[in-house]
Structure 1
């Protein structure tokens, strides 16, 4: 009997060449497909909610696939987590209607980007934050975040190399929060993201935190639709795909 499954996946992206399957490299999709195919004794092809780049982590990546099996979803989850030797964990596995698709059924995604803002770097957890030793102006960064919210053309924050019909996206939330004295997080939720969009926004917001970019300048960068106007791409290691939302 053909069943459709929805997986919610957590992974440490440090040692992977991103999500998408690549013949010569270790990827999250590739490793999951190997384990699932072994358990189900049939080829499995995952449809992910979207790609994450090399070094980017996920707390709530979503993938779907179809398989001819009567195996209960919880047994499948347990089997994957038992056999998987790399830092990939299924946090949930459910049977869903055959109309469900991890990418096309999604209505929004939320990313979090973490910054360690203090003089000294960290010895523990260094693969999960961007260490910035200079003090950042949170108020200035949040003023710039106000310009991000809404429907805009985000071409200034897109890196080349990913096909897309449009560079217009709707951002439902964008804000900087302080987690403690040293740790900051940029939270952003949108109906979709361009290649490296979150990391490019983060790099430009850090420029604002240094006083190099004012809120008015940030609006000009957005309106320019030119990648050269925006800041540098923030390192991959601070970025987490927090969750994917469905209607």
Structure 2
């Protein structure tokens, strides 16, 4: 039988979601799989909805795993898992799904937020990027409007990645400014390329600083050249905040 688990984690001390070869850091997938295997008493592997990079966080992500028999009390399994997992990884709930449901391939939308502090705050060090230059959100939002006109985002993809297509359908993208001066970039799409959100943020920071006009992002996208876009923003500011499914298609 197949089950979904809803998780959240602080990615600061991990090498991303994916399990890593020995000596190359600790992946969240490995930690959760080992904890689940300890309880179930056989080797388990959980498959996540996405493969967040090192240092990136998740407020809401789903993973699936298979068992040989039904889980009598998913709530109790959830509590037992949380007692074994470290403080920076939490399981919110576990529930049955159809056998062909897939945490990654059944997802229809993913949402990320990138948080920026414009004043130093030690309580946000791990979950936001301290950017001391003054930023203007208005041209950054004009760049967002241009961004949504396109589907091919090769210019924001990490080079030499094994992907069949650079096409992503962005549902929305915007910058919001909070009363304390901090900014949040929110973007949702059916899929994201590796390093895509951080590269977009890095490019838009150049726009917000006045180093380039918002219209320049059009030239960057059409060039399909990663060297033309901005530096990747630090991982600590990025959080996967939502993953959506058509639940009628995957619930039993």
The answer to whether TM tops 0.5 is: yes
Separation in structure 2 between the aligned mates of residue 93 and residue 213 of structure 1, nearest angstrom:
47
Alignment of 1:62-141 (within 5 A): 62-71=62-71, 72-118=73-119, 121-141=120-140
**Structure 2 residue aligned with 1:9:** 7
Summarize deviations over 1:19-66 as a string: whole Å, max 9, x none: 001132211000000000011111111111110011000001111011
**Structure 1 residue 69 displacement after superposition:** 3.4
Alignment of 1:203-242 (within 5 A): 203-242=202-241
Summarize deviations over 1:141-168 as a string: whole Å, max 9, x none: 0000001214421011011243111011
Contact 1:40 1:69 (8 Å CA) reproduced: no
Aligned: 1:35 with 2:35 = yes
Unaligned runs of 5+ in 2: 247-252
Unaligned runs of 5+ in 1: none
3-state SS of the aligned residue for 2:126? Answer: helix
Separation in structure 2 between the aligned mates of residue 35 and residue 161 of structure 1, nearest angstrom:
34
Runs of 4+, deviation exceeding 4 Å: none
RMSD across aligned C-alpha pairs, in angstroms?
1.2
Separation in structure 1 between the aligned mates of residue 150 and residue 104 of structure 2, nearest angstrom:
20
Separation in structure 2 between the aligned mates of residue 40 and residue 150 of structure 1, nearest angstrom:
48
Contact 1:116 1:184 (8 Å CA) reproduced: yes
Summarize deviations over 1:182-219 as a string: whole Å, max 9, x none: 21100000010011000000000100001112122111
TM-score (norm 1): 0.95
